[in-house]
Amino acid sequence: MVRFLVVSIFLSMFSLFKIYAQANAGITGKVIDAQSKKPLSFATVAFLNQSDRKVVAGTQTDENGAFLINNVAPGRYLLRVGYVGYQTYERADVVVNPNTPLSLPDIGLKISGKNVLQEVVVQGSPPDMQIGIDRKVFNVDQSLVSQGGSVTDLLSDIPSISVDADGAVSLRGSSGVRILIDGKPSAMAGSDITQVLQSLPSNSVQRVEVITNPSSKYDAEGQSGIINIVLKKNLRTGLNGSVTASAGSYRNYNGGLALNYRDSSFNYYGNYDYRKSRRLSEGTSDTRYLENNGLIDNRNEGDRAGTGHTAKLGVDYFLNQTTTIGLSGNISIRDNQRNEDIFYRYENLADLNGTSSRYSRQTEDDFGYDLNLDFKKEFAKPGSELTFNAAYGRNKEDGVNTFNQIFSNPASAEDRQINDTYERGDNINLQLDYIRPINDQSKIEAGYRTTIEQDDESQSSLRFNPESRSFLPDYNVSNKFNLEEIVHAGYFNYQNKFNKTLGYQIGLRAEQAYLNTITENVNPATPESERFTPGRLDYFRIYPSLFLTQTFSADQQLQLSYTRRVSRPNGWQVNPFINISDPLNIRRGNPNLKPEDIHSFELGYTRNIGKTTLSSSVYYRRVNDVIQNITQRIEGSNAATISEWRNISMNESTGFEFISKSDFGEALDLTGNLNIYYNRFKGSPEFGLEARDGINWDANLASNIKITKNLSAQIRGNYVAPRVLAQGRSIGNFVTDAAVRWSLLKNKGSLLLNVRDVFNQRRFGGYTQTDQFIRNFRDRRSLRMAMLTFSYRFGWQDKGKNEKDDWTSQDDNNQEP
């Protein structure tokens, strides 16, 4: 299967370059608001046959209002453009000549007097991938294989993104990626965005934007870039809604209801989603100690289940045609149960022999909410606007963990422990952005952001005392931890052109950051002067960015960019709590971590050839003060190890990424992605780490197939090759997902069946090697899963609308803040 995937991608690449030589010129244009002259993002553009009015070609505008349509046969066409809340634009007798580029004048749309959307009829589906020179936009509503799953499942289906066994998201092989929701950090996520992503259903997402080398306008946080998850927000007039219900293997269930009402002055929206999930896992681990040839071998079985309720309510008030005020709120209520059984076998260890069984049970209750105020003002000069956002969020988590370990050796006493955990976080985000064009070629962008995160965490542990036959406080793993992270940032960008085809953008972002921590020892015997251990990180940095963009034609661009970025240690990396879920493999955070300093260079090229989109990038990334999880043997023990986050000098990555999307008629399309990079760790003698390097790569191939008018299918294969780690190497992983969707009820409803990991091959693992031991591990956190999903759309619609194969805006036109 791996060979088939790789060969298919290279054959696809070969065919695309063959098409390159036969490419025709494209049709370009721009859609704007007729009054404000502001670009209209994601408007629908269609070319129709003038005789029978059948659609010949169609697309959507990008975030700048621009569009490109290739491979239109010579002839005379009707041009039709539509956008939510605007009158439909039509222009007859648009002449396309053979092999001659056609550049249309700006198309100005007028706001509908009745504020009713006259929707454009386009046969087919919206483009599931739009590739720009600085970002890639994935319209994930067309991702059939992830329906019924979580947002984490959805992200794992997107090129360049991978998700590990614990749900941590990586971009181009780096886990240091900044994840935003609707253009800003999630105020209710706290320090653990993973939990929020795993609780949100995939069908709540409109699109995902991947920015691998963001400019100074964006948050400097994130080693490998930014992933912006844009949630659905219906903007259609009248009352509209949808319902969704899913059921799958291992007792996985989803349900959702979304409602929206809009008139000339207000837009009200709300949704509720229910998710009940269950994931089974299994794994093995064996640790061989080099000093005495001792061995610890274990096998684990896990069962994770959870129930989540998420809801959102909001209203937008259109004060006038240039001013909008929005209020919204989110709430999330979750409970989780995690059970894990570990079965050990010991050899050649002085203080351990025979076998043991360890049973752990964990329950958690999570509650979070956020409140948002948004303001947007458009000025008289076209393209000038001021936006403001204020958000406050709180998250709270209460949990109880119980451990019980029984030994086969009668001389070893039973080990029982109870841990009560508590966490509360408060988050504030204040953001102000201003854009002002100077002329047609230049503009300035400026803004300010303050983020404040405060976390209070505690763990109280009780351990069973065999002599008293009672549970007594265990102060070795009991403590309190407080964290405060504050970042003040201001930025300025200037954009202009040297000539008609060569443009540039320069920017500076200045950030003042604070990370204050206090670790409290709760042992009453500890002297007052030694009870509190403070930590403080205070630094000011300048983050420059430079972009040079060469436009060769309407359908191809080349861009060279440099940015400086930062990856700050998060809450669970700096929290010194000791995780004893496996007492022989202890984990804890490090409050003394320094932030990573990142310098990133990228050369990107995009090309549209007929119905094929190509994107290739060569990139180099240098990371100083790399944060890595280092495993070492505990002093005084011949068996136990401890994993702790450390700064380990420097890491370099040099890579090439290629993405292609081809439409082979209306019945088939193919998307391929290949990412190859050379990774080098400099090494750190203080931790016994030698320099390591190697070539890593990953690839995926996805295809959409239209079987009949109402029946479609999707298949996706993904392979992640073995990767070089600071202390070892990971194993390769190949996964295949497939789905079939049947449209029914006059295309208002659909029934979808998908299977994730069709061949049950999803595995994580590798080995860790030090001068003290060698550890091999394998883990499967999710088994093959099938899900059946029914969805139905309803609401007031324009009576003149032809519902046949319509995709225009019926799944929202949400805009990034």
Question: Which distant-in-sequence residues (6+ apart) come within 8 Å of 504 by Cβ?
Answer: 495, 496, 497, 498, 546, 547, 548, 549
Residue entry with tokens 């102060």 = 475
**Residues 602 and 657: beta-carbon distance below 8 Å:** no
Q: Which token pair is 682?
A: 């400099």
Q: Left, alpha or beta for 295 (phi > 0: left; psi -120 to 50: alpha)? A: beta
Q: What pLDDT, on a 0 to 100 scale, did the predictor assign at position 358?
A: 93
CA 561, CA 543: separation in Å to the nearest integer? 13
For residue 39, what is the DSSP state? B
What confidence score (pLDDT) does residue 20 get?
A: 40
* Residue 606 near residue 613, CB atoms below 8 Å: yes
> What are 661's two structure tokens?
């999307």
3-state secondary structure 304-353: EEEEEEEEEEEEEEECCCCEEEEEEEEEEEEEEEEEEEEEEEEEEECCEE
Q: What is the pLDDT of residue 196?
A: 75
User: Closest Cα to residue 459, out of 476, 434, 442, 484?
Assistant: 476
pLDDT on residue 191: 56
Torsional class of 52: left (φ above 0), alpha (ψ -120 to 50), beta (otherwise) = alpha
pTM of the model: 0.78
Predicted pLDDT of residue 801: 37
Q: How far is CA 5 from CA 147, 593, 696, 774, in A?
A: 23, 40, 16, 33
Q: How does DSSP classify residue 3?
A: H
Ordered DSSP codes for 740-797: EEEEETTTTEEEEEEEESTTS---EEEEEE-SSEEEEEEEE----EEEEEEEEEEE--
For residue 692, which amino acid is it?
R
Assign 3-class secondary structure to 49-90: ECCCCCEEEEEECCCCCEEEEECCCCEEEEEEEECCCECCEE
Residue 328: its pLDDT value, please? 93
Quote the CA–CA distance of 588 and 479 in Å, as a whole number: 13
27 Cβ contact list (under 8 Å, min separation 6): 47, 68, 69, 70, 72, 96, 101, 102, 103, 104
Cβ pair 169, 163 in contact under 8 A: yes
Give the chain's domains with CATH numbers. Answer: 2-123 (2.60.40.1120), 130-379+389-590+602-614+621-637+657-795 (2.40.170)
Mean pLDDT by runs of 10 across the 817 residues of the chain is 46 43 62 81 82 77 78 83 78 82 86 43 49 71 71 80 76 81 72 72 82 88 85 68 91 90 85 91 91 89 92 91 91 93 89 88 93 92 90 93 90 87 93 91 94 92 90 90 95 93 94 93 91 91 94 82 91 81 82 92 86 88 91 77 89 92 84 92 83 91 89 91 89 91 87 90 89 90 86 64 34 34
For tokens 């997402």, the residue is 205
Contacts of 618 (CB under 8 A, 6+ apart): 602, 603, 655, 656
State residue 134's pLDDT score: 65
